[in-house]
């Protein structure tokens, strides 16, 4: 039971930061940025090459986050801000085109084979029947700390109140003297940095590869929609529910149905679980589980 919970929390840490950044940006610009998951892929590659060049792991990830954050801000200024003048649907299609360009660029420059971090082999931590790898533990701790800091920023600082006001009513926020463009730029930078951090931590165990963004697209968007697009903390709760569903699907023993001692669903069914949760969310709660909070914030 405890191992099941640990596996769920580890998977949540894989999704939470990327879904959080996606929801943050949506709250201000009001369009789903499909290219957002590719920022995680680029962050993974940047971290890998910086670490391979001799930069310590923590410094490599921080530099990668800054680089992807700046790239995200640049794309907002040069591409998305212009596309938004034509409406959110056109902007979403533009983000899809940009995502394909990022994938094609990465495939041409980095190749199709996963690039694995060269890290020393260390035994997993074990307490009773619970096992967790060191990198998974570090990723989980980093996610918890960042979520606590973000919650404090959103609800106990002037910047956080300004972000929530701008998300709720941009016209009124602008009339109150808030610098909407400054806040939007800050959020775009932070969202890109969070995506790069999430992608880098995931790549430490699975490697940096060109399909990393594609693999994260469905569960990240499902988490953001389930929690309510525009509600960053709701996206984290959505990530937990998606991770819980995926863990249940891959850990249930269906041997009793086939008269066998052991019969588990293939890992490929993880995507099916995300599809199912997303479909149910759209049918039953199209504004997300925390729709009241979304409309208020």
Does residue 217 belong to any structural domain of this protein? Answer: no
Q: Which residue has the higher pLDDT, 296 or 148?
A: 148
Q: What is the mean pLDDT of residues 131-148?
A: 89
Which of 68-77, 107-116, 131-140, 184-193 bottoms out in mean pLDDT, i.e. has the lowest?
Answer: 131-140
Does residue 282 belong to any structural domain of this protein? Answer: no
Q: Which residue has the higher pLDDT, 155 or 284?
A: 155
Does residue 67 belong to any structural domain of this protein? Answer: yes
- pLDDT score of 64 more than 90: yes
- pLDDT score of 168 more than 80: no
Confirm if 277 and 289 have CB atoms less than 8 A apart. no
- pLDDT score of 244 more than 90: no
Does residue 224 belong to any structural domain of this protein? Answer: no
Tell me whether residue 58 is exposed, middle or buried, using C-beta atoms within 10 angstroms of its C-beta: 0 to 12, 13 to 18, 19 or more: exposed
Does residue 50 belong to any structural domain of this protein? Answer: yes
The C-alpha torsion from 273 through 131 and 194 to 214, rounded to 10°, is -40
pLDDT number for residue 281: 75
Does residue 52 belong to any structural domain of this protein? Answer: yes
Mean pLDDT over the full length of the chain: 85
pLDDT number for residue 205: 87
- Residue 159's domain spans which residues? 2-210
pLDDT number for residue 256: 63
- pLDDT score of 173 more than 50: yes
Highest mean pLDDT among 40-44, 120-124, 212-216: 40-44
Which of 67-81, 88-102, 222-236, 240-254 bottoms out in mean pLDDT, i.e. has the lowest?
Answer: 240-254
| Cα–chain center distance at 78 | 23
Does residue 131 belong to any structural domain of this protein? Answer: yes
- pLDDT score of 178 more than 80: no
- pLDDT score of 65 more than 50: yes
> 297 falls in which pLDDT band (50, 70, 90)?
very low
pLDDT number for residue 1: 64
pLDDT number for residue 192: 95
- pLDDT score of 269 more than 80: no
pLDDT number for residue 100: 95
Q: Is the pTM of this model over 0.75?
A: yes
DSSP-assigned letters across all residues of 23-65: HHHHHHH-S--TTHHHHHHHHHHHHHHHHHTT--HHHHHHHHH
Question: Under 8 Å CB-to-CB from 278, ≥6 apart: which residues?
Answer: 218, 221, 222, 225, 226
pLDDT number for residue 126: 78
pLDDT number for residue 255: 67
Q: Which residue has the tokens 């959505």?
A: 238
Residues 3-31: pLDDT tens digits? 888 888 988 998 999 999 999 899 888 88
- pLDDT score of 294 more than 70: no
Q: What is the mean pLDDT of residues 131-158?
A: 89
Does residue 219 belong to any structural domain of this protein? Answer: no
CA distance 268 to 287: 28
- pLDDT score of 296 more than 60: no
Residues 191-226: pLDDT tens digits? 999 999 999 999 998 899 999 999 899 889 888 888
DSSP-assigned letters across all residues of 138-204: HHHHHHHHHHHHHHHHHHHSHHHHHHHHHHH-HHHHHHTT--HHHHHHHHHHHHHHHHHHHHHHHHH
Q: How many independent structural domains does the chain possess? A: 1
């Amino acid at each position: 039971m405890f191992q099941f919970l640990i596996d769920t929390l580890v998977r949540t840490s894989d999704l939470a930061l990327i879904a959080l950044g996606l929801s943050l940006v949506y709250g201000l610009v009001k369009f789903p940025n499909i290219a957002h998951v590719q920022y995680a892929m680029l962050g993974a590659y940047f971290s890998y090459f910086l670490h391979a060049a001799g930069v310590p792991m923590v410094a490599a990830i921080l530099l990668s986050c800054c680089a992807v954050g700046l790239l995200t801000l640049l794309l907002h200024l040069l591409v998305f801000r212009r596309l938004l003048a034509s409406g959110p649907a056109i902007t979403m299609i533009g983000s899809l085109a940009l995502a394909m360009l990022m994938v094609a660029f990465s495939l041409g420059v980095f190749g199709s084979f996963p690039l694995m971090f060269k890290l020393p082999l260390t035994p997993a931590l074990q307490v009773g029947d619970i096992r967790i790898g060191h990198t998974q533990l570090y990723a989980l701790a980093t996610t918890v700390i960042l979520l606590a800091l973000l919650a404090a920023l959103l609800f106990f600082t002037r910047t956080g109140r300004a972000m929530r006001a701008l998300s709720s009513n941009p016209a009124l926020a602008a009339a109150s003297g808030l610098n909407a463009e400054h806040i939007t730029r800050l959020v775009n930078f932070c969202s890109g940095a969070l995506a790069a951090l999430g992608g880098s931590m995931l790549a430490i165990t699975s490697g940096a590869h060109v399909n990393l963004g594609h693999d994260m697209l469905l569960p990240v968007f499902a988490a953001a929609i389930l929690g309510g697009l525009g509600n960053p903390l709701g996206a984290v709760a959505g990530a937990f529910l998606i991770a819980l569903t995926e863990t249940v699907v891959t850990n249930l023993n269906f041997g009793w149905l086939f008269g066998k001692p052991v019969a588990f669903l293939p890992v490929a069914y993880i995507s099916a679980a995300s599809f199912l949760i997303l479909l149910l969310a759209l049918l039953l709660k199209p504004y997300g589980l925390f729709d009241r909070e979304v409309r208020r914030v």
